[in-house]
Amino acid sequence: MKTGQSIDEQSKALIETAADFHGHLGPYLVIGVRMGLLAKQVLNSDGSSGLSATVNTGSKPPLSCVADGIQVATGCTLGKGNIKIRALNEISSTFRTKQRAIQVKTKAEAIDSLKLDELRGSQKIMEKVATKVSQMLDSQLFNIEEL
């Protein structure tokens, strides 16, 4: 997957794995998976070692669902201590390797277009919006800043 592209078949399977891990499919979970995959690509990391993440969503759903997606996509886990949650209540994360650090943040216009703040209702609606998130281009969904 190149930056600027939507997800491939392997990434779709990873989203399914994340939904199993998390308990359901939702847009914030997919955003987390997409963030994690993008960070691994930009940082040229396989995610198995040497990568850490700081998730800025806080610990309250639905924003905190991003963290589960990042855990599945990157292999950063609470148990290994290479992921942390900060209570900034924003959909952004910082990813670090020994060589580099980046911040991946959702674009406000992308979130506005998805109407995530208004998302209430059935699981079917959440899955429909999650599918839409999975089909967006990285360049539509995220800003990446080198730190």
Domain assignment present for 117: yes
Give the CATH number of the domain where residue 36 resides: 3.30.1330.130
The count of domains in the chain is: 1
Domain assignment present for 22: yes
Domain assignment present for 32: yes
Domain assignment present for 134: yes
User: Can you give the pLDDT at residue 1?
Assistant: 46
User: Can you give the pLDDT at residue 89?
Assistant: 93
Domain assignment present for 30: yes
* Integer Cα distance of 75 and 58 in angstroms: 19
Domain assignment present for 107: yes
User: Can you give the pLDDT at residue 113?
Assistant: 85
Domain assignment present for 92: yes
Q: Give burial (CB, 10 Å; 0-12/13-18/19+) of 2.
A: exposed
Q: Which residues pair with 101 in a beta bridge?
A: 96
Domain assignment present for 2: no
pLDDT < 70 stretches in the chain: 1-7, 117-121
Segment 83-119, tens digit of pLDDT: 999 999 999 999 999 999 999 999 999 988 888 766 6
Q: Which of these, 110, 117, 27, 97, lies nearest to 66 by C-alpha position? A: 27
Looking at the chain, how many residues does it have? 147
> In terms of residue numbers, what domain contains 104?
9-146
